[in-house]
Amino acid sequence: MLARRWFTNDGPYVVELERRLEDHLGVRHCVTANSGSAAMLLAIRGLDLSGEVIVPSFTFVGTAHSVAWMGLKPVFCDIDRATWNIDPTACEAAVTPNTSAILGVHLFGRGCNAAALKRIATSHDLRLVFDAAHAFGCSLEGRRVGGFGDAEVFSFHATKSFHTFEGGAVTTDDDVLASKLRAFRSHGISDLDRTIGLGTNARMSEVCAAMGLANLDSYEATLKASHTVHQAYERGLEAVPGLDLRESAINEESNWHYVVAEVEEAECGLSRDSLIEVLRSNNVLARRYFYPGCHALEPYVTEQPDAGRLLPETERAAARSILFPAGSSMAPEDVDRVCALVRDLVGCSS
């Protein structure tokens, strides 16, 4: 990159990364961007969304912010108790004449119910987009996440399973959409002296693409290391009463990047919040995740103060979820120490 003196603007590393991600994910187009959020803004604009977009409240606040940043209204929808993903029944009930799209989130690497959401989108003539920031490397209905709906949006932020330091991408099989997104991410420029309309700078730089290529080369090893860590947690927490690891979908691939459990205080004998507090005081950086739901954060809590009434499962999950430190950079011995500490705190023998 330094020898070429080509640092950004569709450089060779960006082009190579896009081609390899298209292959890896099995999609026609991968349009990279400089963050997952920038990619989401491009997708929202590329699909001409307007009015209201239905999104789960139990997600990273960035999902809702992208909708609101584009001047649209996120309409919060409840989740399914079994999967903690968007609940199709609640989603359909939230459709109004102003709805333009459904934005599903594949939370914690588990694909959401794309088939049911597609039926709803088709019958109400809505666009269907997925926030796949948690689901790189995961499968749904036996295929890689990335090719569902009108578009899927990935984040390649440093904290994700696959990363480019900062970055993201829109994946789609729609040729027209992909070419619009390529123009939008570079000031709307389509040719040397032409623009197709509004645009911005959402380009990925060469140094980020190079990081992505290196990480893609070692991605199998990353998955394996994350799986080892996940399995160490499964074994280590199995006997802890009132602490249930959230499971990945049967017969689907996971990236094993998120170790999330549900705390049932009555059985555990310790509240979720006190458990986290003690873990953190022992330098184990567990956290409430997601807490609170987006609807309870600004600006939504002020703009839509009653939203929580329709979100009982979101409130329940936000009150019970705990995210443990995990991922490929954690040593299995450290997982064993974390689990031993939890077993100690909860007072179980094994």
Ligand X SMILES: *Cc1c(COP(=O)(O)O)cnc(C)c1O
User: How many residues make contact with ligand X (CB under 6 A)?
Assistant: 14
Q: Is 170 in the site for ligand X (CB under 6 A)?
A: no
Q: Is 134 in the site for ligand X (CB under 6 A)?
A: yes
- In angstroms, rounded to a whole number, what is the distance separating the alpha carbons of residues 314 and 294? 10
* Residue nearest to ligand X as judged by C-beta position: 36
* SS3 letters across 55-89: EECCCCHHHHHHHHHCCCEEEEECECCCCCCECHH
Could you tell me which stretch among 70-78, 130-138, 205-213, 339-347 binds ligand X (CB under 6 A)? Answer: 130-138
Q: Which of 133, 138, 339, 346 binds ligand X (CB under 6 A)?
A: 133
- By the 8 A CB rule, do 205 and 7 touch? yes
Q: Is 139 in the site for ligand X (CB under 6 A)?
A: no
* CA-angle at 58, arms to 57 and 63, nearest 5°: 65
Nearer residue to ligand X within complex by CB, 236 or 327: 327
Nearer residue to ligand X within complex by CB, 157 or 316: 157
- Name the minimum Å distance from CB 329 to ligand X: 17
The HSE-up count of residue 250 (CA atoms within 13 Å, CB side) is 1
Q: Is 32 in the site for ligand X (CB under 6 A)?
A: no
Binding string, residues 94-113; x marks residues near ligand X by CB under 6 A: -----------x--------
Q: Is 152 in the site for ligand X (CB under 6 A)?
A: no
Instruction: Give the strand pairing for 73-77 and 52-56.
Output: parallel
- Name the minimum Å distance from CB 39 to ligand X: 8
Nearer residue to ligand X within complex by CB, 135 or 335: 135
According to DSSP, residue 100 is labeled: E
Can you state the angle between helices 206-217 and 219-237, rounded to 10 degrees?
60
- In angstroms, rounded to a whole number, what is the distance separating the alpha carbons of residues 48 and 111? 25
Query: By C-alpha distance, which of 180, 167, 154, 163 is closest to 48?
Result: 180
> Which DSSP string do the residues of 286-320 spell out, in sequence order?
-B-TT-S-GGGSTTHHHH-TTGGGG-HHHHHHHHH
Could you tell me which stretch among 35-43, 182-190, 276-284, 335-343 binds ligand X (CB under 6 A)? Answer: 35-43
Q: Which of 11, 36, 46, 147 binds ligand X (CB under 6 A)?
A: 36
- Name the minimum Å distance from CB 249 to ligand X: 17
Q: Which residues bind ligand X (CB under 6 A)?
A: 35-37, 59-60, 62-63, 105, 131, 133-134, 155, 157, 168
